[in-house]
Structures are given as structure tokens and as C-alpha cells.
Amino acid sequence: MVERDCAEETPPVLGVFDSGIGGLTVVREIRRLLPAIPMVYFGDTARTPYGTKSTETLRRYAEEDSEFLLSHGANILVIACHSAASVARDHVAGRFPVQVFDVVGPAIETAVRVTRNGKIGLIGTRATVESGVYQETIARLDPSIEVVPQPCPLLVPLVEEGWLRRRETRMIVRKYLRPLKEKGVDTLVLGCTHYPLLKGVISEKMGKRVTIVDPSEAVALRVKEYLEREGKRPGTGPAKELFFLSDIPPVTGEIARRFMGRRIEFLPAEPGRSNPGPSPS
């Protein structure tokens, strides 16, 4: 993460992007800590999923998504998508002159801090797990820590279908988590936007002694601390916010309600093109 100053006096406007609707788990946590911060969200539903894409494609998408948010008034970026953050966070931070947060950095710091036996489990999409970012960063921070990675590609569609407590979901979760349990991890990182919705089932399967790290909480806290440290006022009054999606199929509203716990009005967007339009500030 590269820390840079925004122009003085400029009120902070968070720009949050994700491959689709899952990033709303990050928005929800940010809202809990910063109820009035102006925010613009972009979900790339036309090009989702990101979890199966190559590094080159994800870097291009992340750049276009960031440009879109900046063109709508964002002056701080939050990469809510783990797959994009895993391979493109340095790329985005090096490309745009704004503060960039992402879900991976704070999750790694939290996991390294809380593990007692030095065995950290990581679940995520293939793009996240295969990027090696957790393994490499943690090895640099503390070479004695072992990361046990497990891609869980079936969990995203199950969450989007709302199969949060179904028997089939529990069986699949159990199967994915078995190798992590066998390795004796005492900490598990939920390395995907969708997994906080399965936290109950995951935690039940892992057992009480395993600490679950939810990166959406970790990154929200990091943003709040940054604003306080920089003396930036996180807004007052009712929150100004805009939610853009690159495709809005009919089922969108229902899925979004599951993630946010409330109704959201979505606006259409096309990243990669110039999109002059409204901003939340």
C-alpha cells in the first residue's frame, strides 16, 4: 500500500470496486464504521467473474475500474475484489495519484498478528490463491509461518443463489475445509468478497478454536484509521452514495439485498469508456 496525500481541503470520497456485487460486503463494513462518508461503487457485473481471469486481464480491468471511479469524483480507492487486489494492487497504486486500499494487505496483517501456531489457512478464488500473494507476503513478514491455500470456486455461485445454509452448501464447505483442518490451521482468511455471508457455516466447520479473519472488516478499519490520521472529515448527515454496475440483470436487486441488508438503486456504467456523470460529493 502506498500512502499519499489527497489535496488539502478536498473532502474524501471513497471509490470502491469489485467484479460484481460481492464488494458490497466491504461497503457494508465501511458504512458501519463511517456512516456518512461519500462513496461511489462500481461492480463489473458485465465481466464477472474475476476469479477465473488471468493476471493481465485483471490488471487491465482494475485500471479501467479505477479510472471509472476517479471520473465520478473518487479521491481514495478501495479494491474490494480479492481476485483483482491479489494481482493488481501495486499496479493500481503505481498508476493513480491517490491513496489505494485493498482487501489483501489488511487481511494478511491481521492473520499474521492473530495466529498462535503459525499456520494460516486461505480460502479464495483460483485467481487469488494462485497469485501467491499471501504466501509470498507472509513469507517475507515471518518465514516461520505456513500458509495453507485452498481455492473454493463453487462458493461464489452458491452465495449468489442464496444457498447460505443449505445441506449441499455445508457439504461443499466441509469438503473444501477438510485439508485445512487436517493441517491444523488456527487462523482462516476469508479471501473472497462472498465468504463473509458463509461465515457462520465456515466457522462451525472449522471449530471454535480457529480465528476467522474477515478482510472486509480489516480494510474498513484501515480506511477509518487513515482518515483520522490525516485529519480528513468523513462527512456528516445522510451518506451520499452512488452504485454503478456494468450490467443490471433482473435478479441483481435481490442478490444485492442479501449482501447489504437493504435495497440499493443501481445505475448503469461502462468502464473503459469515459463516463462523465454524477458524483456523490
Of 43, 27, 192, 201, nearest in space to 125 by CA: 192
Least distance to ligand DGL, CB of residue 203, Å: 19
The answer to whether residue 150 forms part of the interface with ligand DGL (CB under 6 A) is no
Give me the count of residues in the chain. 281
Burial of 188 (0-12, 13-18, 19+ CB in 10 A): buried
Q: Is 151 in the site for ligand DGL (CB under 6 A)?
A: no
Of 163 and 279, the one with the shorter C-beta distance to ligand DGL is: 163
Task: Tell me how crowded residue 261 is: count the other CB atoms within 10 A of its CB.
Answer: 9
As measured in angstroms, the least distance from the Cβ of 281 to ligand DGL is: 26
CB 104 within 8 A of CB 85: yes
Backbone torsions φ then ψ of 77, nearest 5 degrees: -105, 145
Exactly one of 99, 110, 128, 150 binds ligand DGL (CB under 6 A); which one? 128
The grid coordinates listed for 258 are 442479501
| Part of the chain binding ligand DGL (CB under 6 A), chosen from 15-23, 133-141, 217-225, 262-270 | 15-23
Residue of 155, 190, 193 lying closest to 174 (CA atoms): 155
End-to-end CA distance of the chain, in Å? 25
Q: How far apart are CA 18 and CA 50, in angstroms?
A: 9
Return the residues of window 169-198 that contact ligand DGL according to CB under 6 A: 192-194
82 near ligand DGL, judged by CB under 6 A? yes
Residues 18-77 that bind ligand DGL (CB under 6 A): 18-20, 22, 48-51
Q: Which residue is nearest to ligand DGL (CB)?
A: 51
Concerning whether 152 is annotated as a catalytic residue, the answer is no
Q: Which is nearer to ligand DGL, 19 or 187 (CB)?
A: 19
Closest by Cα among 34, 46, 37 to 11 = 37
Say which of 24, 81, 189, 198 is annotated catalytic: 81
Q: Which of 107, 108, 123, 156 binds ligand DGL (CB under 6 A)?
A: 156
Rounded to a whole number of angstroms, the minimum distance from the CB of residue 154 to ligand DGL is 12
- Which of 45, 66, 75, 83 touches ligand DGL by CB under 6 A? 83
Q: What are phi and psi of 34, to 5 degrees?
A: -130, 75
Query: How does DSSP classify residue 205?
Result: H
Active site residue 81: yes
Contacts with ligand DGL by CB under 6 A: the residue count is 17
Q: Which residue has the cell 448527515?
A: 237
Where in the sequence numbering do the catalytic residues fall?
Answer: 81, 192
Which residues contact ligand DGL by CB under 6 A? Answer: 18-20, 22, 48-51, 81-83, 125, 128, 156, 192-194
